Amino acid sequence: MSSQQIQTGSVTPVTNPPPSSSPPTGREGSGSLEPSSAPAVVVEGLWSNVWKQFKRNPIALAGFYVVCFLLFTALFADFLSNDKPYYLQYRGKTYFPIFRSYLIGAGLSQWPPALLNVNFKKLQGAEAVFPPIPYRPSNIDLLAPYETPSPKHWFGTDRLGRDIIAGMIHGSRISLSIGFVAVGIAVIIGVILGALAGYFGSWVDLIISRLFEVMISIPTFFLLITVAALLPPSIFLTMAIIGATSWVGIARFTRNEFLKIRNLDYVTAAIALGVSNRKVMFQHILPNALAPVIVSVVLGIAGAILVESSLSFLGIGVPAELVTWGSILHEASSATFAWWLAVFPGAAIFITVLAYYLVGEGLREVLDPRLRGLR
């Protein structure tokens, strides 16, 4: 009893609970504890929480769906716009020309003699199922130049009679591939240099920081114009130059994150246990430093697409036989009456760049703790 109970003279009786009428179970008899009926606490990971918060931003979510649609269009361009059919029944045999073309491109098959260098649309007695756009951007029809948009040519044709929507569908591959490859090069360079500068500090940070300043002073666009004047057009060279000159922002983000994380307890413990610098940098610190880098990557893809479109509009950067959104705009500059040559590819560039920027800003709001509570 406590002192308060002694003073008041109150006594609290202790009673034993009544015996249960049901016989004890085997688990109770063995003295084991029953599992608690309390609901389990689910701990969400970083990226599941990021996705949940990202979905609350309808504008950024709309941009994400546009990006997914563009990726789908680029991946399945041959199945959306092609002069070859999905399915062909000819002379008692069944063919799948689009799929066979992939095998032929890989050197695993050949065209049968009956289908070698033929126009699938003019095969007599054949049954075929064509894609929604039965044209490729290289199909020339000199009898239909500058046709206005119609059910036959949804977005019209250019001066050579080439279908515009076919060029835009296949041009999305070039635009997105340049964006992803160029930013991939920038990520590799930027993450490595930023990690070295932020982890080691001292003279290593000083030298790499001076390199940042040198690279910022190099204008990417004018460098591309200079290279295009000296060398033949090459899409791979364009990717390499854009990637090799646009890594500074990614490197700075990585450096700043490494400077903050390298002094945390778990990093100090890993170093004390003798873990190598490479493992500490890329297995312990880097996964926790990627959040701002991802935002920079998304915005960098939009910037690379815009640079490629600008180069194509000027008629440089990519080979002339490749149809891109910028090259269609370039043709519109000499045919001002053909409004569809400017409206459709211009809208595609605007929507694509805007979608990537919306996704990037949405990720920034979610990942930046200073902006997380503003929406």
Nearest to 330, CA basis, from 178, 179, 159, 174: 159
Percent of the chain with pLDDT over 70: 85
**pTM given for the model:** 0.77
290 vs 5, higher pLDDT: 290
Q: Is the domain of 117 the same as that of 177?
A: no
Mean of pLDDT values over 85-107: 87
Model confidence pLDDT, tens digit, residues 215-238: 888 888 888 888 888 888 888 888
Which of 256-260, 269-273, 362-366 is least confident?
A: 362-366
Q: 26: pLDDT confidence band, cut at 50, 70 and 90?
A: very low
pLDDT for residue 6 is more than 80 = no
Q: Is the domain of 124 the same as that of 200?
A: no
Mean of pLDDT values over 94-117: 86
Asked if residue 81 lies in contact with residue 136, where contact means CB atoms within 8 angstroms, the answer is yes
Q: 56: pLDDT confidence band, cut at 50, 70 and 90?
A: confident
- Give pLDDT, residue 289: 82
Which of 54-63, 203-212, 301-310, 362-371 is least confident?
A: 362-371
Domain boundary among 104, 129, 154: 129
- Give pLDDT, residue 372: 54
Q: Is the domain of 100 the same as that of 183?
A: no
Q: Is the domain of 123 the same as that of 253?
A: no
- Give pLDDT, residue 360: 86
pLDDT for residue 127 is more than 90 = no
CA distances from 164 to 131, 305, 311, 320 (A): 15, 19, 19, 16
202: left (phi over 0), alpha (psi -120 to 50) or beta: left
Please enumerate, as own/partner, the contacts of 155-159 that have beta carbons within 8 Å and a separation of 24 or more: 155/340, 155/344, 156/338, 156/340, 156/341, 158/328, 158/331, 158/335, 158/338, 158/341, 159/331, 159/335
CATH number at residue 270: 1.10.3720.10
Model confidence pLDDT, tens digit, residues 41-53: 444 566 677 788 8
Tell me which residue range forms the domain holding 235.
Answer: 164-367
Domain for residue 20, yes or no?
Answer: no
Q: 368: pLDDT confidence band, cut at 50, 70 and 90?
A: low
Q: Is the domain of 335 the same as that of 273?
A: yes
Domain for residue 7, yes or no?
Answer: no
Domain for residue 23, yes or no?
Answer: no
Domain for residue 342, yes or no?
Answer: yes
Instruction: Give how many domains the chain has, as a whole number.
Output: 2
Q: 370: pLDDT confidence band, cut at 50, 70 and 90?
A: low
- Give pLDDT, residue 29: 44
Which of 24-38, 141-155, 200-214, 269-283 is least confident?
A: 24-38
Q: Is the domain of 96 the same as that of 236?
A: no
Domain for residue 297, yes or no?
Answer: yes
Q: Is the domain of 233 the same as that of 332?
A: yes
Domain for residue 361, yes or no?
Answer: yes
